[in-house]
């Protein structure tokens, strides 16, 4: 590997630009596993990486792409051999050092996960968003929310975290209510197993928020944050829980203690970035087997890495549905 192609994001005054550049091995960060990247995916954080003041990238220039799947081509670690199929995400891949939108990546072995039963394409279709969906669903299950407890709402349902959450919850027997701003996504969400599709929450964004409103949900998977999370918290039933992972609706949370102290509602924080590697590998093993999303093909679309900026723009605008799998090998 003398040189390779990469999509590089650079800061230019107040603008962030992204273009295909030729890099060499010395451009890769230190690490004991070098991976020929086959696929990456598109996550909201990748859109933020190309947004001025997006707040996720430490220093430019950087190769974005917060997750990747591929094949080991060099390894100084006894854990991985040349030819192993692997994936990686979290730990500031694509935000603190070069990520998946390049033909090669280099990482510490303790950030690498064996793909196991998943193909590289399936691993990327799940990606960071699907992994976060699995974390969220597993958190509700571990909390003791059973399918007979009542409906579970998923916000941002047409997006990456949302769509995979709908799929996983429906497969586990939950009555899923999908909350989405896209009428066009209703068919897809029903196909994934949603019992009902409703609009974004709160239903009336201009109404004065109430600390407690009529209890509707046994639990919730929320990747939107902001006023949506506040609304969900105020409508979760006694003893329910909300697995919260995101901020597409804004980072501020204006709520009261009432849901917590009068209904025993719990707010469960989801962080896929710093999760310990042992737990990460366990959850990926489940994603390849008992927890494997049933409708990966229906929620994912392929895009060549050279065309990924257009998809990132759609994600930033909240207009993209499902998961975009980024073809890196052969995609420049």
Q: Which residues are near ligand NAP by CB under 6 A? A: 43-45, 128-129, 132, 156-162, 180-182, 185, 200, 223-224, 228, 245-249, 270-273, 315, 318
Minimum distance, C-beta of residue 322 to ligand NAP, in the bound complex (Å): 8
Cis bond upstream, residue 61 (ω within 30): yes
SS3 of 232, please?
helix
Sign of the Cα pseudo-torsion (232, 321, 309, 2, in order): positive
DSSP β-ladder status, 152-154 and 217-222: parallel
Minimum distance, C-beta of residue 198 to ligand NAP, in the bound complex (Å): 10
Q: If you search the block for the tokens 């091995």, which residue do you land on?
A: 25
Nearer to ligand NAP, 234 or 245 (CB): 245
Nearer to ligand NAP, 75 or 180 (CB): 180
Minimum distance, C-beta of residue 23 to ligand NAP, in the bound complex (Å): 26
Nearer to ligand NAP, 4 or 91 (CB): 91
Minimum distance, C-beta of residue 113 to ligand NAP, in the bound complex (Å): 15
Nearer to ligand NAP, 3 or 142 (CB): 142
Nearer to ligand NAP, 80 or 131 (CB): 131
Minimum distance, C-beta of residue 212 to ligand NAP, in the bound complex (Å): 22
Residue 104 dihedral angles phi and psi, to the nearest 5°: -135, 150
Nearer to ligand NAP, 28 or 197 (CB): 197
What distance in Å separates the CA atoms of residue 265 and residue 157, rounded to the nearest whole number?
Answer: 22
Nearer to ligand NAP, 25 or 271 (CB): 271
Nearest-CB residue for ligand NAP: 159
23 DSSP β-pair partners: 4
What distance in Å separates the CA atoms of residue 332 and residue 306, rounded to the nearest whole number?
Answer: 5
| Closest by CA position to 245, among listed 325, 165, 314 | 165
Helix axes 160-171, 120-143, angle to 10 degrees: 60
Minimum distance, C-beta of residue 78 to ligand NAP, in the bound complex (Å): 29
Please list the alpha-helical segments (H only) found in the chain.
44-49, 120-143, 160-171, 186-192, 226-235, 258-263, 277-287, 296-299, 308-316
Residue 63 dihedral angles phi and psi, to the nearest 5°: -90, 115
Nearer to ligand NAP, 23 or 124 (CB): 124
Q: If you search the block for the tokens 């996720």, which residue do you land on?
A: 56
Minimum distance, C-beta of residue 195 to ligand NAP, in the bound complex (Å): 16
Minimum distance, C-beta of residue 127 to ligand NAP, in the bound complex (Å): 8
What DSSP letter does each residue of 52-95 carry, written as one string?
Answer: TT-S--SSSSB---SEEEEEEEEE-STT--TT-EEEEE-TTBTT
């Amino acid at each position: 590997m003398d040189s390779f192609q990469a999509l590089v994001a650079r800061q230019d005054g107040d603008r962030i630009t992204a273009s295909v550049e030729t890099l060499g091995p010395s451009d890769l960060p230190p690490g004991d596993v070098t991976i020929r990247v086959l696929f990456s995916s598109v996550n909201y954080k990748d859109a933020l990486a190309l947004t001025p003041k997006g707040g996720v990238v430490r220093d430019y220039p950087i190769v974005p792409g917060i997750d990747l799947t591929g094949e080991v081509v060099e390894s100084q670690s006894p854990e991985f051999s040349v030819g192993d199929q692997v994936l990686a995400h979290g730990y500031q891949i694509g935000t603190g050092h070069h990520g998946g939108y390049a033909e090669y990546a280099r990482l510490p072995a303790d950030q690498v996960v064996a793909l196991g039963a998943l193909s590289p394409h399936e691993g990327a279709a799940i990606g960071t968003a699907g992994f976060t969906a699995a974390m969220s669903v597993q958190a509700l299950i571990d909390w003791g929310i059973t399918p007979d407890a009542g409906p579970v709402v998923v916000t941002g349902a047409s997006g990456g975290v949302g769509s995979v959450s709908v799929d996983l919850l429906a497969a586990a027997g939950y009555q899923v209510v999908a909350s989405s701003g896209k009428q066009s996504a209703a068919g897809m969400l029903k196909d994934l197993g949603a019992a009902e599709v409703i609009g974004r929450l709160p239903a009336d964004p201009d109404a004065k928020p109430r600390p407690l409103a009529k209890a509707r949900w046994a639990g919730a998977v929320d990747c939107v944050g902001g006023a949506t999370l506040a609304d969900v918290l105020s409508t979760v039933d006694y003893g329910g829980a909300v697995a919260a992972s995101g901020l597409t609706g804004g980072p501020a949370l204006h709520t009261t203690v009432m849901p917590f102290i009068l209904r025993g509602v719990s707010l469960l924080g989801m962080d896929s970035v710093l999760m310990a590697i042992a737990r990460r590998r366990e959850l990926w093993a489940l994603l390849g087997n008992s927890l494997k999303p049933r409708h990966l093909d229906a929620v994912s679309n392929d895009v060549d890495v050279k065309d990924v900026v257009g998809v990132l723009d759609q994600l930033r605008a909240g207009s993209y549905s499902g998961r975009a799998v980024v073809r890196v090998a052969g995609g420049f």
